[in-house]
Homo-oligomer: A and B are copies of this chain.
């Protein structure tokens, strides 16, 4: 049975996603997104499960930026609803309103911004690399007057008490997690609902890109290829230079998508297919 890596530590939302997609495999947490991708490349694990895009915060830049420099392929996607809870060390459950600091991932703190602004206006924010690392820190420091924001798995994993459920500002918040592999492969995720297929492209415009994005979109539009996402990321070569991540709502076919790519390349763009894959949710 092959081993699956994910962005750890235990108790992250990625842990929830990987447990949903691979309930019977051995799971290995990695401390950083690049180290998890490197392990797939070196065949230490078969798949990596990493956060890709959150409905509130947008794309997870490090996953995108590192992936586009690797030769890995997206072979599947899991969509997980995001629910954030306020949790404390069991010793401190009666004095939480006088707390000095709340620990969490910066995205989780942003997602609870209205709640914190209203109910804990003077609390200091301390950023950790994950919601789970924040829960661990709170567990290990019972003498400090601090709370963590994270999911139920983190609370149970680190033995914290949830004192306020669902403190996130917006309902209908989900995160997309990608499953990465060294080779393209037909992945079937049991126990989750199949929702559809996507093809994800990375497109770099020519440096003199006046009007180029308009031309690129024309190649999709006249073929009625439905784009469910278009997002720009900086090229790291200076302000104003971007590449684009585009999701097409269909499986890579033999005619329409290759035809669009050929035309776009003829315009002077560079196109990389990051994957064509099924996506799943509960």
A6 interfacial contact with B, CB 8 Å: no
Number of identical protomers: 2
Residues of B within 8 A of A172 (CB): 237-238
Quick one: which of B55, B217, B239 contacts A217, CB cutoff 8 A?
Answer: B217
Task: Give the contact stretch, choosing among A19-27, A224-232, A251-259, A264-272.
Answer: A224-232
Residues of B within 8 A of A237 (CB): 55, 170, 172
A145 interfacial contact with B, CB 8 Å: no
A214-B220, A239-B53 known; A110 vs B62 contact (CB < 8 Å): yes
Query: How many residues of chain A are within 8 Å of chain B by beta carbon?
Result: 47
Residue pair B127, A236 in contact (C-beta under 8 Å) = no
In the complex, what distance in Å separates the CA atom of A233 from the CA atom of B232?
A: 9
Residues of B within 8 A of A214 (CB): 214, 217-218, 220-221
* A contact set with B: CB distance below 8 Å: 34, 53-58, 61-62, 79, 106, 110, 113, 117, 125, 127-129, 170, 172-174, 176, 210-211, 213-214, 217-218, 220-221, 224, 226-234, 236-240, 242
Given contacts A54-B234, A172-B237, A211-B221, 13 further A-B contacts (CB under 8 A): A56-B234, A57-B234, A62-B110, A106-B106, A106-B127, A127-B128, A127-B129, A173-B236, A174-B239, A210-B226, A228-B240, A230-B242, A231-B231
